[in-house]
Amino acid sequence: MRYLATSLILAMTLGAAYGAEGGKTAERLQKSADVIDAIMKTPEQGIPSDLLNKAVCVAVVPSYKKLALGIGGSAGKGALVCRRGGNGAWGAPWMFEMGGPSIGLQIGGQSTDFVLLVMNPEGAEKFVKGHTKLGADASVAGGPVGRTAGASTGVLLQTEILTYSRSRGAFAGLSLEGQVIKNDGGANKDIYSRELSAHDILFGNTGTPAAARPLDAALAKYSPRGGQRFPKK
């Protein structure tokens, strides 16, 4: 009986911990949806629609934080969503972590939201390859802002990942060169109830979990179709 009671207590504790972690992942996805909606509601200061329509994937890192590590550092967790096939409807999210050297004065002592547009299939492959360093493993640049940014997009479309920041109500293109992207295995397991690779989630036929539907809906609201087809392998 004592063994049974101990086992039940342990199971309940682990279940509560798992549920709490799963709740955090769902919260991250909801916050990501809120970031997209808030940014795109102000087109004069937000992401240009033509760039969003050309993107094959979009990543959101809500509440990225500066760390007090002496030499300076930053860390956050995000979600990457790709168009199915590269040019279809928005699909299932891949959860990731991002960290690296302190980004600078724009972050200050507070949290910052980041949005990353992956502009081509090559950029998508590099983003999820594992321990991807932006600027070294994939080309990255701060993206243009607002309706009038279209004139400058020719050169920027050669860039694999365009990045944006929102802090204290201000929205701007900000390069995230030096930041490292890696898999958030725990969060992915939380929402899919099993271990899946980034390729299975983003480029396969993995269904979209309920927690990710608000993010897909927010992206579909502003860019229902676009991108470019992923090459067949």
112 occurs within a structural domain: yes
Mean pLDDT of 58-86: 81
230 occurs within a structural domain: no
Looking at residue 157, its pLDDT comes to: 65
Query: What span, in angstroms and rounded, lies between the C-alpha atoms of 226 and 212?
Result: 20
pLDDT band at 153 (very low <50, low <70, confident <90, very high): low
Looking at residue 149, its pLDDT comes to: 58
Which position has the higher pLDDT, 222 or 18?
Answer: 222
Given a contact cutoff of 8 angstroms between Cβ atoms, the answer to whether 141 and 162 are in contact is: yes
162 occurs within a structural domain: yes
pLDDT band at 60 (very low <50, low <70, confident <90, very high): very high
Would you say residue 14 has pLDDT above 90?
Answer: no
Looking at residue 232, its pLDDT comes to: 77
How many domains are contained in the chain? 1
Q: Name the residue range of residue 127's domain.
A: 2-222
pLDDT band at 17 (very low <50, low <70, confident <90, very high): very low
Q: Per mean pLDDT, which range of 66-80, 94-108, 146-160, 192-206 is the poorest?
A: 146-160
pLDDT band at 103 (very low <50, low <70, confident <90, very high): low
Q: How many CB atoms lie within 10 A of CB 72?
A: 14
233 occurs within a structural domain: no
Given a contact cutoff of 8 angstroms between Cβ atoms, the answer to whether 147 and 47 are in contact is: no
Would you say residue 7 has pLDDT above 50?
Answer: no
Predicted TM-score of the model (pTM): 0.85
Would you say residue 197 has pLDDT above 90?
Answer: yes
Looking at residue 125, its pLDDT comes to: 96
79 occurs within a structural domain: yes
Would you say residue 109 has pLDDT above 90?
Answer: no
Q: Which of 207, 28, 177, 16 is nearest to 104 (CA)?
A: 177
Rg (C-alpha) for the chain, rounded Å, is 18
Tokens of 72: 């300076």
169 occurs within a structural domain: yes
Mean pLDDT of 94-120: 80
Q: Which amino acid, 76?
A: G
205 occurs within a structural domain: yes
Looking at residue 175, its pLDDT comes to: 86
Q: Per mean pLDDT, which range of 37-51, 58-72, 180-194 is the poorest?
A: 58-72
Which run of H or of E encompasses 107? none
Looking at residue 15, its pLDDT comes to: 42
Mean pLDDT of the residues in the chain: 83
Q: Which amino acid, 190?
A: D
Would you say residue 134 has pLDDT above 80?
Answer: yes
110 occurs within a structural domain: yes
Looking at residue 152, its pLDDT comes to: 55
